[in-house]
Amino acid sequence: MMNRQTQDWHAGSGARLCRRGPSHGTHAERLFVRRARVFCVLLLAAALWTGCGDTRPAQEPEGSIAFQSGTGSSGVNRTHVTDGPPFQRPGLLVPAYEPTWQSAWVEHDQQHPLLRGATAGLTTGIAILEITPFALTFWPAAVGIMAGATAMSMLGISQSDPADQRISPPDRVVIADATKSLRPDALWRESAAEAFAQSRMTPVATVTSYQAWGPDTSGTDPLVEARAQGLDGVFEFSIDALGLAAGEEKDTFGVFVQVRVRAVETQGGLLRYERVVSYGPGQQVEGLPRADFYTVEFLAADQARVYRQMVSDGLRRLARVVAEDPQLPLPPFRAREQ
């Protein structure tokens, strides 16, 4: 009798244990799922908090062009020299009509801000899923991560700091108008003539050139006029490009200029000297200090007063560097001093 009861007791206990087994397993799975979801949420929050979902504009490399006038490509520095006797009576070539400057702001990112934010959020979500293998099993959590990262990034873009819009349309207009009114080519020639007079003690005559405007209006040969004035060589000073380039610090810009100097013999038109120099942020010239950089708001203030001054200073500095180049087809300094 005791054995029978003992067997019945053990059988009942086993049945109860069997019934408890599935219930205990379901509770563990639910607990694991909840913990996994909480971990995903915390991981998403940490990633967005530390900047993985940051969609603000990145800093452009120093020297990246933001605004340019002219057709030249910045960053070119070269010198070409042909041997020959120095010019004893040089002249300065001046066009009768100044060229029209075409200015344009360079857009590095053409993607719509919301689309850019969605892309950044989607990338963040994928990166989180790559380090959470269980996301493939628990797909609701994976979907939540992807949707949350995308929505958070798009919200961040739509509510971004106005300072992220680094160049406002009014400031763009002021800078472009200031470039036209500066008459950069004339300013560059005046700076060069002044530098030549101070360093070379060389009087520079003026040779006016007229370009052809069509089949009915022929231009003039400046070398003919130069020979008529008794000149043995002419210098041509021109600007390939100028504008604003990214500075060393974020959201700052500095003036860059690229100038060209050519020296031609009046007899035969032989090119004796050509030099192209670029100066500005990221473009260092020996003998000149590093280019200054400021915010566009500061450069455009007071009708771009600071911007105008920086362009003028840059051209005058380059004029002194070119005037002191010993490779110029001019007598050396010592001969001039004697």
Whether residues 151 and 271 share a domain: the answer is: no
Whether residues 175 and 147 share a domain: the answer is: no
Whether the pLDDT of residue 2 is over 60: the answer is no
Whether the pLDDT of residue 23 is over 70: the answer is no
- Choosing from 129, 144, 164, the residue where a domain stops is 164
Whether residues 70 and 175 share a domain: the answer is: yes
319 neighbors 191 (Cβ within 8 angstroms): yes
Range with lowest mean pLDDT among 44-53, 58-67, 287-296, 297-306: 44-53
Per-residue pLDDT band for 259 (boundaries 50, 70, 90) equals very high
Place of tokens 């994976």: 142
Domain range for 212 is 65-108+165-337
Whether residues 233 and 304 share a domain: the answer is: yes
**Top-confidence range, 26-30, 60-64, 73-77:** 60-64
pLDDT tens by residue, 164-217? 446 788 999 999 999 988 888 999 999 998 888 887 666 678 898 876 555 555
Whether residues 295 and 182 share a domain: the answer is: yes
Helix/strand/coil (H/E/C) assignment for every residue in the chain = CHHHHHHHHHHHHHHHHHHHHHHHHHHHHHHHHHHHHHHHHHHHHHHHHCCCCCCCCCCCCCCCEEEEEECCCCCCCEEEECCCCCCCCEEEEEECCCCCCCEEECCCCCCCHHHHHHHHHHHHHHHHHHCCHHHHCCHHHHHHHHHHHHHHHHHHHHCCCHHHCCCCHHHHHHHHHHHHHHCHHHHHHHHHHHHHHHHCCCCCEEEEECCCCECCECCCCHHHHHHHCCCCEEEEEEEEEEEEEECCCCCCEEEEEEEEEEEEECCCCCEEEEEEEEEECCECCCCCCCCCCECHHHHHHHHHHHHHHHHHHHHHHHHHHHHCCCCCCCCCHHHHHC
Whether the pLDDT of residue 129 is over 90: the answer is no
Whether residues 39 and 160 share a domain: the answer is: yes
Whether residues 139 and 201 share a domain: the answer is: no
55 neighbors 152 (Cβ within 8 angstroms): no
Whether residues 197 and 153 share a domain: the answer is: no
Whether residues 186 and 253 share a domain: the answer is: yes
Rounded to two decimals, the pTM is 0.66
Number of independent structural domains in the chain: 2
Q: Between these two residues, 295 and 332, which has the higher pLDDT value?
A: 295
Q: Between these two residues, 164 and 34, which has the higher pLDDT value?
A: 34
Q: Between these two residues, 333 and 241, which has the higher pLDDT value?
A: 241
Pairing mode of beta strands 90-95, 205-209: parallel
- Choosing from 164, 199, 228, the residue where a domain stops is 164
Whether the pLDDT of residue 135 is over 60: the answer is no
Whether residues 251 and 159 share a domain: the answer is: no
Q: What is the mean pLDDT of the chain?
A: 74
The domain that contains 300 carries what CATH number?
A: 3.40.50
Q: Between these two residues, 267 and 220, which has the higher pLDDT value?
A: 267
Whether residues 89 and 118 share a domain: the answer is: no
Whether residues 140 and 238 share a domain: the answer is: no
